[in-house]
Amino acid sequence: MDTKKKKRPEDPRKRSRTAARGGASGSRRSQPERKRQPAAQEQRTARRQEQSTRRPRERAAEAELQQRRQMEAVASDAPEMVFRMDAQEEKKKPEPLPQDPVEAKREQQRRRSAQRTQERRKQASRRSRAPRVVYTQPKPFNLNRLLLQLAAVMAVVIAISLGLSVFFKVENVVVYGNKAYTPWAVQNASGIEGGEKLLTFGRIRASGKIKAELPYVDTVRIGITLPDTVNIYITEYDVVYAIKDQNAAWWLMTSDGRVVEQTDAGTASGYTKVLGVELDHPVVGEQGIAYQEITFDDASSTAPTASLLETEPPVTVTPAERLSASLNILEALELNDMVGLIASVDVTTLTNIELWYGNQYQIRLGDTGRLDYKITCMTQAIAQLSDYQTGILDVSFVTWEDQVGYTPFE
């Protein structure tokens, strides 16, 4: 009997395991190669660790740079530039590293300061719409240039003056406004002669000569017309009044006291006569002076007693005061268009001044107070009376306050 044992068939799984062992054993490396394998793996691990530590630093530096650029853009009022990472980088972006608290506070303060500065600039630009002021450096003072300019101006002025004085001379004299005098009399009185320099003859001297030699002339104005004409404009006194001198001779005088000429009694009767004051040696063309004579006022007694002289000095009125009062009355008559209507003005007693309106009304002005107002009231009262009425007008405002009294002649 065969005692040999039969071989069982091999298990395929065992065969695969055997083959795997055999393959693994066949693919085993040499021992030096197995020694080098841990070193390379350590290098790769170190490289990965270095990359993992370097990337957060780079990303932190990049974030800090971006933040710094944003702050500079805000401070310079420039459009903000935003750098965005792609989605992959954004996924890989690690969490920011913790910053120093002091540095973070400083950064926050700088950011707020930049924002405030930008806001102030915007507000200032909105408020201020005025143009900017440009300051330029002034030119330095040049004395030589100034002297040269002055010399040029002086040369031009001298040349013009010499040219005008040489080429423009007096050839014609024209008189305007003359009534009492002829043009020849006015020209002769001025002293202007033909051939004089038109621009340099004495105008003030000529005006003074005309007023001194022609008493009826009130004002004088002299002008020129190129190339050879002198124009003389005069105004004459339209109204004069008659007054006596200390020798009982009649003279004609203006309302401002200027003596114009001597006349006779017949001619003087055609003018308003000033009574109660005389002129002292009047001179034609000059201001009249009252004849000095001290008299007692009629308001006081004509022969004061000794007791009155001891207690109170007599009231006296000087001729100068009488002349001044008469001139004031004459000016008031001219202002009220009563020229030529008043026959006489009597200032013998300044407390009882009398006027005669022709032969129709005797007017009592009283004292020298408010003469202008009294003359105005007198004019209005005469205008209200009829032409056939005659009498006394009391404008002294003593008997009737601010009223004119009328008393017909008997």
- Write the pLDDT tens digit of every residue in 126-164: 766 656 667 777 777 788 888 888 999 998 888 777 766
d(CA 214, CA 190): 10
Sequence-ordered alpha helix ranges (H) in 76-100: 87-92
d(CA 276, CA 300): 17
Q: Side chain identity at 200, as an amino acid letter?
A: T
Say if CB 268 and CB 253 are below 8 A apart: no
Cα atoms in the Cβ-side hemisphere of radius 13 Å centred on 99: 13
Say if CB 345 and CB 329 are below 8 A apart: yes
d(CA 73, CA 75): 5
Please identify every stretch of the chain with a pLDDT value under 50, giving residue numbers as ranges: 1-6, 19-20, 22-28, 78-83, 85, 295-312
> For residue 135, what are the contacts with CB-CB under 8 A and spacing of at least 6?
none
CA distances from 252 to 220, 245, 324, 352 (A): 21, 11, 16, 25
The dihedral over CA atoms of 305, 307, 310, 315, expressed in degrees to the nearest 10, equals -40
Say if CB 276 and CB 254 are below 8 A apart: no
Q: Side chain identity at 4, as an amino acid letter?
A: K
- Cβ atoms < 10 Å from Cβ of 362: 16
- Cβ atoms < 10 Å from Cβ of 375: 24
Say if CB 325 and CB 368 are below 8 A apart: yes
Residue 128's pLDDT is what?
A: 64
Cut 0.75: pTM above it: no
Residue 3's pLDDT is what?
A: 46
Strand partners, 361: 357, 391
The string of pLDDT tens digits covering residues 328-361 is 999 999 888 888 889 999 999 888 999 999 888 9
Residue 314's pLDDT is what?
A: 53
Residue 80's pLDDT is what?
A: 47
d(CA 366, CA 354): 8
Encoded tokens for 178: 């003359």
Which strands make up the sheet holding 353-357, listed edge to edge?
259-263, 250-253, 241-245, 273-279, 342-346, 353-357, 361-366, 391-394, 405-408
Say if CB 252 and CB 261 are below 8 A apart: yes
Domains identified in the chain and CATH numbers? 168-236 (3.10.20.310), 241-408 (3.40.50)
Name the percent of the chain lying above pLDDT 70: 76
